[in-house]
């Protein structure tokens, strides 16, 4: 008979690993959240072992209660979830790319081999904090906004809804939905023209006719020595009638 280890944690090349095969797991590196390598601290390893045992036991209890025949792992199920969204045309390719990036960040934090039922509300909250520290926001912001974090949370929540519908996890299990005060984005004024504003602008472009002095100012200056160099002062003159679009400006409302 092979000799059994007295402890689940064991050292290998100076780092700690755990043996969870009797609970349906495997030989696993004991990595703290957000770390890529196994810990070298025996106290941290003991805490990670206890947490992992608790997770695996809860998974086994869930399987026994609802008759689930397999344990869904985050990495593999995220891939299945994306493929299902593509086949069922649940979103555009652009949106699917955004969802993929958000789920890749979830897998990077929680780990591809983490069971879906091993992720609870506290770990989801820790993930949202990690997202803010790890990734910059748009328009030069140093951290992600509440709205961007909420999009990532929504992507993970949608994955849990599919897993519940496919009986990969106990019915209704969704740690994102269980978080009652999730971050949410602040409404901002739209940067693009409203429909009626765009219609007025297009109509003005169709009916606009430059005034004579405006045309004269657009002719090359005789003393410039450079044919084709035009004045654009009249184009930017606010007293001009009609509508002249300033050079280089985007068609943005209020910008």
* 81-136 per-position pLDDT tens digit: 999 999 999 999 999 999 999 999 999 999 988 889 889 999 999 999 999 888 88
Output the CATH code of domain 71-188.
1.10.150.130
Q: In this structure, what token pair is assigned to residue 135? A: 């990734």
**Comparing C-alpha atoms, which of 135, 164, 155 is closest to residue 78?**
155
The position carrying tokens 């654009």 is 232
Q: What is the mean pLDDT of residues 239-254?
A: 41
Q: Kindly provide the b/e burial profile for residues 180-198, where b requires at least 16 CB atoms within 10 angstroms of the residue's own CB.
A: eebbeeeeeeeeebeeeee
15-19 sheet: strands from edge to edge: 9-12, 15-19, 27-29
The position carrying tokens 């297009």 is 202
Domain spans of the chain, in order of start? 1-67, 71-188, 190-255
52 contacts 148 by C-beta, under 8 angstroms: no
Residue 208: what pLDDT?
78
According to DSSP, residue 252 is labeled B
pLDDT-based confidence at residue 232 (cuts at 50, 70, 90): very low
Distances (CA, A) of 240 to 130, 212, 255: 53, 12, 21
Distance CA 23, CA 31 (A): 19
**Comparing C-alpha atoms, which of 250, 217, 222 is closest to residue 235?**
217
Q: In this structure, what token pair is assigned to residue 251? A: 């068609």
**Segment 132-153, tens digit of pLDDT:** 888 887 777 788 888 889 999 9
């Amino acid at each position: 008979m092979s000799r059994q280890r007295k402890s689940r944690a064991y050292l290998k090349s100076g780092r700690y690993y755990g043996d969870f095969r009797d609970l349906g797991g495997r030989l696993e590196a004991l990595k703290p959240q957000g770390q890529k390598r196994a810990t070298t601290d025996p106290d941290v390893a003991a805490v990670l072992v206890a947490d992992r045992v608790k997770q695996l036991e809860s998974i086994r209890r869930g399987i026994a209660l609802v008759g689930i025949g397999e344990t869904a792992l985050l990495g593999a199920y995220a891939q299945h979830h994306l493929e299902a969204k593509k086949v069922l045309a649940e979103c555009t390719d652009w949106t699917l790319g955004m969802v993929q990036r958000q789920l890749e960040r979830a897998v990077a934090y929680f780990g591809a081999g983490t069971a879906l039922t091993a992720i609870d509300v506290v770990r989801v909250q820790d993930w949202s904090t990690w997202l803010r520290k790890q990734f910059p926001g748009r328009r030069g912001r140093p951290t992600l906004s509440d709205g961007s974090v909420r999009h990532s949370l929504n992507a993970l929540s949608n994955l849990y809804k599919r897993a519940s519908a496919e009986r990969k996890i106990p019915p209704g299990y969704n740690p994102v939905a269980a978080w009652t005060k999730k971050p949410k984005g602040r409404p901002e004024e739209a940067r693009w023209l409203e429909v009626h504003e765009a219609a007025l602008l297009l109509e003005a472009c169709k009916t606009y006719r430059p005034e004579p002095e405006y045309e004269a100012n657009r002719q090359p200056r005789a003393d410039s020595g450079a044919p084709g160099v035009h004045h654009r002062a009249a184009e930017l003159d606010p007293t001009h009638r009609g509508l002249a679009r300033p050079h280089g400006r985007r068609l943005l409302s209020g910008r």
